[in-house]
Each structure stands twice: as C-alpha cells, then as structure tokens.
C-alpha cells in the first residue's frame, strides 16, 4: 500500500513537472509581451526598467528556473495586470468556481442516476425514450449556447432570475459563499444547470448501460429466482454493481466540470477562476495563465490519485499494484 502510494505520488510529481515545462514554454511563445505590457509612449529608459522589473530580459531557461524555484515556495509570479501575486488571485476566485462545480455535479448525479435507472429498467417505455432523446440533445447542445438561451428565457423574457454575477454572498471561513443566501442561489441556479447538462446526459447513459448489462447477469437472475422483491434486486444487486464505474466517472468528471466552468463563467459573468483565465488570456497576463494551469493540473493529478485509491477500495478485485501499472 505504501509502495503504491509512493509510486503514484512520484508519477504525479513527474506529470506536474512535465506539464509545467509544457505550459511555461507554450505560454511564453506568445508574441512579445513587452509591446503589450508597456505603453508605446514610454521612453527607452522606462521600457528597460519595466522589462527588468518583470524579468523579461533574462533567457527562457533562467525565467523557467526562477518560476520553478518560486513555485516550490508557492510563488507563481505576479500578475502583470493586477500587480498582485498570481496564485493569490487564483485562490481568491477558486471558491466561486468550486461552489458552481459542486452544485452542478450534485444536480447531474441527483438527476442522472434515477433517470438512467428508469431508462434502463423500462427501456421500451415512453418516458425512457424521452429521457434518452433528451440525453442525445444534452450531448449535442453546445454549453455556451444553452447558457445564452437560459439567460434569454429566464432572465430576459420571464425576468425570474438574474443573468450575471454571484449575487449576495456571506463570509464563512474567510471566504465568500453564494450558497448561503437566497439571492446567491438565484444567481447560482442558471449557471449550475448550464454546467450540469452535459454531465447529466453522460450519467444517464452510463447508468442505463450499466443497468441493462446487470439485468441479464446470472446473479440478478438468481436473485429473481429466489423471489426477492424488485426493490431489493434493483437497490442491492443492480445498483451496487454499477456504482463502481459510476463513482469513478463522477470523480474523473469533476475535474472536467471545473475546466468547463471556463465557458459557463464567461457566459454568466460568474467571477470564478475560469473567467479570470479568459480575461488573462485576452490581455496576455502570463503569470496568471501559468498559475491557473498549474492549479488545474495539480487538481487533476490529485483527483486521479483519489479516484485510483477509491477504485481499489470499492472493488476488491482490483489489485493496487495493477492499478498503478500500465493499463
């Protein structure tokens, strides 16, 4: 177990290092930041002072070494545009994104599993066909356009819900939260539905496929032959067996929900770190872009690690050694 943990952690660190090089080199290929960051009216002396202050005069490898050294101390550089540490900026926006992602994931799981169960148990019913057609639509609808349509219907035509921002927030544990106020929920619900839609479709399809596969297995047939109630067969024999892939997917998809929040946050002007990323890309605020990506990569690496561990805990057939090796 400890050997497995160590090996997985070493792998994760390697991934983190590789990604940092890729991200750094990639982002530093953008045009000439000097032209963008320093006013064209500045004279030569001012320009040089600014270049030296931003560290742009040093060679790439030296900038990278400086960056990694800083990263190990939790310092990912200072935002060009805001003048504050990039990591601080990201972390300040993180709760808004996490709040949105959690509510979206809850919606997707809370609706997706029951609907998928229904569609799997009664595959030929009218409701099931409706659910499956809906899930194809959910896969096909581009997230940003759905967001626009939600705003159009609920904010503009019906005027029920606000179209942007976080609304009233409450300070708790030093962070502001929208989920703790009614106004916050009014602002949160549209973006959360928007973000949940794709994962909802995924979970419906996944659950349905799992149920249909489980229903024809010997253990379900045997449970039926024993005369167990339908409720017990579904609740224990079917659900328990399809939960393993579903829990894995929920874990892995959470990272993708955080990444896709970039789109939803831009549509609803939700002040999370995704919106910060897009704003930073538009003004070429490189330290913030790099810091965002490092935070996201770290998040993904952690999620993958946790899912791996959860998987081996849930499914006794999975040997830890095998989970860490080549797939």
3-class secondary structure, 195: helix
By CB atoms closer than 10 A (0-12, 13-18, 19+), residue 13 is exposed
Q: How does DSSP assign 187-255, residue by residue?
A: HHHHHHHHHHHHHHHHHHHHHHHHHHHHHTSHHHHHHHHTT--HHHIIIIIIHHHHHHHHHHHHHHHHH
**Which stretch in 1-9, 103-111, 150-158, 220-228 sits in contact with other proteins by CB under 8 A?**
150-158
Binding mask 28-67 for other proteins (x = CB under 8 A): -xxx------------------------------------
Token pair in block for residue 127: 């409701």
Cα–Cα distance for residue pair 135/128, rounded to 1 Å: 10
Interacting span for other proteins (CB under 8 A) from 50-58, 75-83, 220-228, 254-262:
254-262
Smallest gap from Cβ 101 to other proteins, in A, equals 13
Q: Of the candidates 65, 149, 170, 302, which one interacts with other proteins according to CB under 8 A?
A: 149
Structural Rg of the chain based on CA atoms: 24
* Residue 144 sits in the site that holds other proteins (CB under 8 A): yes
Among 117, 262, 276, 320, binds other proteins (CB under 8 A): 262
Q: What Cα–Cα distance (Å) separates residue 162 from each residue in 5, 23, 257?
A: 46, 36, 22
| Among 152, 230, 283, 313, interactor with other proteins by CB under 8 A | 152
Measured from the CB atom, the residue of 54 and 233 that comes closer to other proteins is 54
Q: Which of 16, 51, 148, 247 binds other proteins (CB under 8 A)?
A: 148
Q: Is 145 in the site for other proteins (CB under 8 A)?
A: yes
How many beta carbons lie within 10 A of that of residue 259, not counting itself?
Answer: 16
Token couple for 92: 């300040």
DSSP state of 177: E
Q: Is 117 in the site for other proteins (CB under 8 A)?
A: no
Extract the tokens encoding 202.
């995924």
Mark residues 270-309: x for contact with other proteins by CB under 8 A, - for none.
Answer: -------xx--xx------x---x--xx--x---x-----
* 3-state secondary structure (DSSP) of residue 85: strand
Cβ-Cβ contacts under 8 Å for 180 (sequence gap 6 or more):
169, 170, 172
Give residues 3-22 in contact with other proteins (rule: CB under 8 A).
Answer: 15, 18
Smallest distance from the beta carbon of 91 to other proteins, in angstroms? Answer: 19
Residues of this chain that interact with other proteins (CB under 8 A) are 15, 18, 23, 26-27, 29-31, 136-137, 139-145, 148-149, 151-152, 155-157, 163, 255-256, 259-260, 262-263, 266-267, 277-278, 281-282, 289, 293, 296-297, 300, 304, 326-327
């Amino acid at each position: 177990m400890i050997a497995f943990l160590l090996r997985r952690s070493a792998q994760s660190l390697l991934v983190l290092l590789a990604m940092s090089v890729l991200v750094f080199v990639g982002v530093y290929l953008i045009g000439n930041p000097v032209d963008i960051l320093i006013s064209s009216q500045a004279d030569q002396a001012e320009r040089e002072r600014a270049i030296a202050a931003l560290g742009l005069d040093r060679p790439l490898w030296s900038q990278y070494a400086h960056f990694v050294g800083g990263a190990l101390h939790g310092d990912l550089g200072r935002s060009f545009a805001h003048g504050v540490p990039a990591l601080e900026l990201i972390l300040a926006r993180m709760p808004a994104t996490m709040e949105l992602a959690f509510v979206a994931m809850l919606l997707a799981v809370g609706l997706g599993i029951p609907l998928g169960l229904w569609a799997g148990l009664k595959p030929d019913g009218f409701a099931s066909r409706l659910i499956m057609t809906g899930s194809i639509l959910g896969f096909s609808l581009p997230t940003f356009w759905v967001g626009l349509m939600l705003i159009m219907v609920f904010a503009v035509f019906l005027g029920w819900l606000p179209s942007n921002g976080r609304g009233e927030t409450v300070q708790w544990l030093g962070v502001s939260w929208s989920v703790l106020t009614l106004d916050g929920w009014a602002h949160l619900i549209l973006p959360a539905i928007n973000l949940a839609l794709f994962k909802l479709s995924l979970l419906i399809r996944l659950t349905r496929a799992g149920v249909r596969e489980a229903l024809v297995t010997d253990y379900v047939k045997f449970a039926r032959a024993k005369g167990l109630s339908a409720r017990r067969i579904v609740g224990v024999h079917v659900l328990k067996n399809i939960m393993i892939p579903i829990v894995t997917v929920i874990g892995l998809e959470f990272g993708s929900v955080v990444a896709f929040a970039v789109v939803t946050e831009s549509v609803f002007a939700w002040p999370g770190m995704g919106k910060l990323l897009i704003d930073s890309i538009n003004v070429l605020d490189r330290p913030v872009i790099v810091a965002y990506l490092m935070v996201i990569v770290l998040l993904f690496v952690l999620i993958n690690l946790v899912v791996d561990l959860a998987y081996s805990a849930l499914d006794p057939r999975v040997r830890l050694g095998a989970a860490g090796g080549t797939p």
